[in-house]
Structure 1
Amino acid sequence: MSHMVVVMGVSGSGKSTVGGLLAERLGVPYAEADDFHPPANIAKMSAGQPLDDADREPWLDAIAAWIEERAGQGGVVSCSALRRRYRDRLRDAAPDLFFLHLDGPPELIASRLAARMEHFMPAGLLRSQLDALEPLEPDEAGAVIPIEGGPAQITDRAFAALPD
């Protein structure tokens, strides 16, 4: 089966690492959502300012276009997808899209953010992301994946959660 998967969660939850490992395991392309941000968004986040919905529109459209291009072939993309309406926008591109929400204690995520090097997202924005997060709803195809343990363990959990 050609899975089309969004690995979602707040910054520091492991989306890029798990997304890359999962794509490799599935034998499908991987895309990093950060690469779809226009320079103005990166500048805003680098300055410690959270993005608003207007900032996110072109970013979500670009990710949705990547998803549409992969139709029937499969792929994994990491994307915070914090709000239901953002996930709905991505689902418009692929109705069978499956979301893997990497979730864990805020203290663990904060410690991972603090240890991260060379990323534009400052740890100070974690609180705004946690406040904005709307968990997957029962009618959304997806699963919550605990982030305790190492990348291989988390990827194993994510793989096991995918539909057959």
Structure 2
Amino acid sequence: MEERHKLIEATTDRAHACRRMTAPPPLTLRQALLIVDAVNGLYSTDRLARTRLLAREVAAVIELGAPEIWAADGLALLCMIEAWTTCRRLAVMDAAERFWACAEGGYEEGLRAVGLLPEPRVPQRVPPLDHPHVTCAGRRRSAEITSP
């Protein structure tokens, strides 16, 4: 039983490592827009060749567009792309292709739907400390608990 547990744990660890390696990295809105524009311009049918051309296409989009708008995000993105594995590039390109396939909603919603932008954080409402039912630890005060 112990060996089976170790095997399951090792398999789970490998699955999580693969997911981390292929998950699209956190991008800014401009970086995500650069990616989808660049992937839209790639015409090779060989997916591995397209991964090698991704950085070049992003650089072309930066140059064709307004460099003053894309410069900072674009240079950071080019450095990120160079550090990505082939698997991560494939995952990003797949997300960009899914973005172009679904034409519903705005840019930000579409980028979030395919995983190129993180979901916005919703601030949690924290009750004030002087609330009569909450202590600093967030538990109900003992006076509120009724005994049978």
| Short-chain TM bin | under 0.3
Which has the greater radius of gyration? 2
Structure with the higher fraction of residues in strand conformation: 1
Relative contact order, CA 8 A, sep 6+: which one is greater?
Answer: 1
